[in-house]
């Protein structure tokens, strides 16, 4: 039959539940499980088949099921409760923590830039931990009422779907997503016009469309180059997350950094703080310099200082190779027409990011660019803060690593997104309905002890049963795709034993994560897993980057172990690790195993998710666990030190794993008391619930960012950039004068004892210094005594003592004196130095490269 027309019919929402559409278009539903229950109650099978995507769900649900929902009193009661909660949440921003704590501030928004955002598996714009952290960051900003606006890229293919073939090799599958299936809309300006911006690439212009997604009260803007007016190659810039070569990467980073700033401007935003979550977006600093130069007629030097005032950089990698480095020819190619707009020379421009490699070659580092254009920087755990100070010490020549002004804010996770609903209900029952509003209260967490052991264990076993069901369904689907026999498919029902001690290991398959460490001694492992009276099973999951061949080989190795008859049903490896799978794993396993090569785990948040769900962490003392472990809430692998010999480190850590499994962990799990439940194990679970949930959450994290970084940066930005930039102009003029004369400073030190003399602890030492500083003057410097505690010739700690100006000896020459008292025995190094001093400097080592010692 020939048709005169074809039409597509979509369901019509009954008037009584029309709010479901509004709900589907705000990611608030992703961290409110009652909102998710609404869709699930209408059609649970459809809800799961569309990956819990309410936008697609409302396109595909049968009309009769919508009508039936309206006729259900239970459904309508839940609907009214959810919609009331949603509207109250959206309309009560004046009652939030930020409004109550910082009601006096009105400096402008906090602009948050990240290459990926993991808010839910139905919106696959993330690859792993960085993106999920960013998603949790903006969810918590919404909950706390922090005036944050976020920027990222909208990827047509997202990150890859992972399949593991019958030989154990990873297959990377990219899908073309239909953006109409996502809760996004074209961003519009104040006139209601759709927002487009552009950037200039060699001999062409690239146009970028701006999309908006609502994340509670926060707006997330995503940039898209897949437009007809762009060249085919440029349309691919926002095709794939972390895909392509260096040239594709520099284009992606120009889009997020430069076009991201332009998008916010076109939307009417005037941020006072610009937060770069990792170095990918560091080009935003260049665009802000261009704005100050072109629009406010500042010099390049003045613009740099104006930009630094409000910029914050969070680094997530503890190794140089983890940061983007571009060859100079690419910088020349893509920025040759750009630096003149900054009134900068080529060398001025390159100096912002130049880093010399061991080979002698100079490359342009995005991390160094971010550091040099940020007044504040932080790592993501206490240990990572220390590692970062050492890693980037060379950016602050003249000071020791302990003085490098990189602080830390330890990562957390968004509780409502990751705490299982059954545990949320238990917390409401025993901690109070408003427990989420009191998570900073130490007394609240003592109430965890009020949860009866039997009740907590019952919840845990229900969650474990859900995990095993999920595992079996996943393995069965994988084996059916492989064309395995009926008998092999039936064997799937034997995978997963809810009575067995279950260990989870789920993370990116990078070699430093050492996924195969537990297989170091396969025979010993077999005895642990196959004990008929105390069985143990291991569940692995994770993706390797498509270009990471060693990571893929590691995955294949574990897959082969999983099919080994001697490990049958004891080793399980799941494919396509995503946020949905993660929720099952972190809430269903008994032990969360984490054994990266210390100190390469910057933070790690999966263990935090597991810990707040009652799983017990068994981890190397790296990242967050270095702070989180308290002796009662889990176990540690190895010891609290770093190794230069990796083979030795692997051996020591693997033996530690086996010993503790055999002697502590497995026996404790199977030690059953009253009611045939592991009473002492549950006490450890409770300690994990208390210690992890109370501190390692993004509410604490965001409050810390706000107090330590956002508010000080906002205040400095206001001071530097108001009153026709008077402060920044004065500061830059002073700084330029300082730089011109810095090398002329001469220091002559006079001790009141022989330099080689052995002295007694607590003995007072006086030190004098004659300092010649032409063109500078004493008001512009601090003279100080530096006392370094040495361990094997290396500086472990450092303390400084300000020296007092005694008198002017002659023109431009001054006498300073100071006293020190060393409290304890040991080897110490002593010196005198001069550093800059200015009332507009927010912290002592704000300026880079200006430190003078005696020659």
Domain range annotation of the chain: 15-91, 94-411+703-721, 442-696, 741-836
- Helices (DSSP H) in 344-449: which residue ranges? 346-351, 366-372, 382-391, 415-418, 421-431, 442-445
Measured in residues, the chain has a length of: 855
Instruction: For residues 535 and 528, give the distance between their C-alpha atoms in angstroms, rounded to a whole number.
Output: 7
Residues 377 and 374: their CA atoms lie apart, in Å, by: 7
Residue 785 tokens, joined: 């005594």
On the CB side of 420, how many CA atoms lie within 13 Å of its CA? 28
Indicate the Cα dihedral angle 80, 82, 86, 92, nearest 10°: 80
Angle of the 73-91 helix axis to the 63-71 helix axis, nearest 10? 90
Cα dist from 760 to 260, 620, 822, whole Å: 60, 40, 8
Supply the pLDDT for residue 204. 95
Check residue 188 and report its DSSP letter: B
DSSP state for residue 195 in the 8-state scheme: P
pLDDT at position 1 is 64
| 249: enclosing H helix or E strand | helix 246-254
For residues 251 and 237, the answer to whether their CB atoms sit within 8 Å is: yes
d(CA 745, CA 813): 10
Dihedral, CA atoms, 420, 422, 428, 434, nearest 10 degrees? 30
In angstroms, the CA 709 to CA 603 distance is 19
The residues with which 785 forms a beta bridge, in sequence order, are 801, 832
Angle formed at CA 720 by CA 346 and CA 295, multiple of 5 degrees:
55
Query: Which residues of the chain register pLDDT less than 70?
Result: 1, 321, 752-758
Q: What is the DSSP letter of 280?
A: G
Q: Which CATH class is domain 442-696?
A: alpha beta
pLDDT (0 to 100) of residue 754: 60
In the prediction, which pLDDT does 418 show? 98
Alpha carbon distance, N-terminus to C-terminus of the chain = 95
Specify the pLDDT at position 88.
Answer: 96
How many C-beta atoms lie closer than 10 Å to residue 94's C-beta?
Answer: 9
Query: Residue 98: enclosing H or E segment and its boundaries?
Result: helix 97-101
Contacts of 324 (CB under 8 A, 6+ apart): 249, 253, 279, 280, 365, 366, 367
Q: What are phi and psi of 569, to 5 degrees?
A: 65, 5
Determine the pLDDT at residue 757.
Answer: 67
Radius of gyration of the chain (CA): 29
pTM for the full predicted model: 0.95
Strand partners, 162: 172
Instruction: Please give the pLDDT value at position 667.
Output: 97
Q: Residue 762: its pLDDT value, please?
A: 74
Q: Name the phi and psi angles at 794, rounded to 5.
A: -105, 145
**Can you state the angle between helices 33-42 and 73-91, rounded to 10 degrees?**
150
Which of 594, 636, 564, 713 has its CA nearest to residue 107? Answer: 713
Are residues 509 and 554 in contact, defined by beta-carbon separation less than 8 angstroms?
yes
Q: How far apart are CA 579 and CA 393, in angstroms?
A: 36
Architecture of domain 94-411+703-721: 3-Layer(aba) Sandwich (3.40)
Name the CATH architecture for the domain at 741-836. Answer: Sandwich (2.60)
């Amino acid at each position: 039959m020939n048709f005169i027309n074809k039409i597509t019919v979509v369901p019509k929402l009954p008037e009584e539940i029309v709010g479901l559409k509004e709900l589907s278009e705000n990611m608030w539903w992703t961290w409110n499980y009652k909102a998710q229950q609404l869709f699930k109650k209408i059609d649970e099978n459809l809800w799961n088949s569309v990956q819990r995507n309410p936008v697609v769900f409302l396109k595909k649900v049968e009309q009769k099921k919508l009508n039936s929902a309206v006729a259900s009193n239970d459904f309508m009661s839940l609907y009214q409760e959810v919609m009331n909660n949603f509207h109250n949440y959206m309309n009560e921003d004046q009652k939030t923590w930020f409004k109550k704590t910082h009601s006096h501030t009105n400096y402008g928004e906090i602009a948050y830039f990240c290459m990926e955002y993991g808010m839910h598996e139905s919106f696959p714009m993330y690859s792993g931990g960085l993106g999920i952290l960013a998603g949790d960051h903006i969810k918590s900003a919404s909950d706390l009422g922090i005036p944050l606006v976020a920027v990222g890229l909208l990827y047509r293919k997202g990150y890859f779907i992972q399949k593991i073939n019958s030989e154990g090799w990873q297959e990377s599958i990219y899908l073309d997503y239909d953006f109409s299936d996502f809760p996004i809309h074209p961003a519009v300006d104040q006139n209601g016009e759709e927002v487009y911006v552009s950037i200039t690439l060699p001999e062409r212009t690239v146009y970028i469309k701006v999309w908006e997604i609502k994340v509670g009260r926060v707006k997330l803007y995503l940039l898209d180059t897949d437009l007809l007016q762009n060249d085919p190659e440029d349309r691919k810039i926002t095709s794939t997350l972390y895909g392509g070569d260096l040239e594709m990467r520099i284009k992606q980073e120009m889009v997020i950094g430069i076009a991201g700033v332009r998008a916010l401007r076109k939307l009417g935003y005037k941020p006072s703080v610009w937060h770069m979550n990792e170095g990918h977006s560091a080009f935003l600093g260049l665009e802000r310099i261009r704005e100050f130069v072109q629009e406010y007629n500042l010099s390049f030097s003045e613009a740099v200082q104006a930009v630094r005032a409000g910029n914050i950089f969070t680094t997530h990698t503890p190794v140089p190779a983890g940061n983007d480095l571009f060859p100079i020819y690419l910088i020349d190619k893509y920025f040759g027409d750009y630096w003149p707009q900054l009134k900068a020379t080529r060398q001025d421009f390159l100096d912002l990011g130049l880093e010399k490699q061991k080979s002698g070659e100079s490359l342009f580092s995005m991390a160094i660019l971010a550091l040099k254009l940020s007044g504040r920087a932080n790592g993501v755990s206490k240990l990572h803060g220390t590692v970062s100070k050492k890693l980037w010490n060379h950016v602050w020549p003249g000071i020791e690593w302990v003085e490098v002004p990189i602080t830390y804010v330890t990562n957390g996770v968004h509780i409502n997104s990751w705490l299982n609903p059954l545990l949320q209900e238990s917390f409401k029952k025993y901690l109070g309905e408003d427990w989420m509003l009191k998570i900073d209260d130490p007394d609240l967490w003592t109430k965890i002890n009020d949860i009866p052991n039997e009740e907590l264990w019952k919840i845990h076993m229900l969650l474990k049963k859900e995990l095993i069901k999920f595992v079996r369904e996943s393995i069965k689907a994988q084996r059916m795709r492989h064309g395995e026999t009926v008998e092999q498919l039936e064997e799937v029902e034997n995978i997963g034993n809810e009575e067995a001690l279950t260990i989870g290991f789920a993370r990116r398959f990078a070699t430093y994560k050492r996924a195969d460490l537990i297989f170091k001694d396969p025979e010993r492992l077999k005895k642990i897993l196959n004990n008929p009276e105390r069985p143990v099973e291991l569940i692995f999951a994770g993706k390797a980057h498509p270009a990471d061949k060693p990571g893929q080989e590691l995955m294949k190795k574990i897959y082969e172990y999983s099919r080994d008859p001697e490990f049958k049903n004891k080793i399980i490896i799941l494919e396509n690790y995503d946020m949905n799978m993660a929720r099952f794993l972190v809430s269903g396993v008994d032990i969360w195993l984490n054994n990266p090569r210390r100190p390469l785990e910057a933070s790690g948040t999966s263990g935090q998710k597991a810990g707040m769900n009652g799983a017990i962490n068994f981890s190397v003392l790296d990242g967050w666990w270095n702070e989180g472990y308290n002796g009662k809430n889990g176990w540690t692998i190895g010891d609290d030190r770093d190794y230069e010999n990796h083979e030795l480190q692997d051996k020591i850590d693997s033996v530690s794993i086996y010993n503790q499994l055999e002697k502590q962990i497995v026996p404790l799990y199977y030690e059953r008391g009253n009611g045939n439940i592991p009473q002492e194990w549950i006490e450890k679970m409770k300690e994990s619930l208390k210690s992890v949930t109370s501190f390692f959450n993004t509410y604490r994290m965001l409050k810390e960012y706000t107090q330590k970084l956002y508010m000080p940066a906002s205040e400095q930005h206001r001071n530097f950039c108001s009153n026709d930039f008077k402060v920044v102009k004065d500061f830059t003029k002073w700084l330029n004068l300082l730089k011109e004369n810095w090398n002329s400073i001469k220091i002559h030190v006079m001790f009141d004892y022989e330099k080689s003399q052995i002295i007694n602890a607590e003995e007072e030492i006086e030190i004098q210094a004659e300092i010649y500083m032409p063109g500078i003057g004493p008001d512009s410097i601090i003279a100080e005594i530096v006392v370094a505690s040495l361990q094997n010739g290396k500086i472990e700690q450092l303390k400084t003592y300000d020296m007092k100006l005694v008198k002017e000896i002659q023109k431009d020459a001054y006498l300073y004196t100071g006293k020190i008292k060393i409290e304890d025995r040991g080897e110490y190094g002593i010196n005198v130095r001069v550093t800059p001093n200015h009332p507009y400097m927010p912290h002592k080592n704000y300026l880079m490269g200006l430190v003078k010692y005696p020659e």
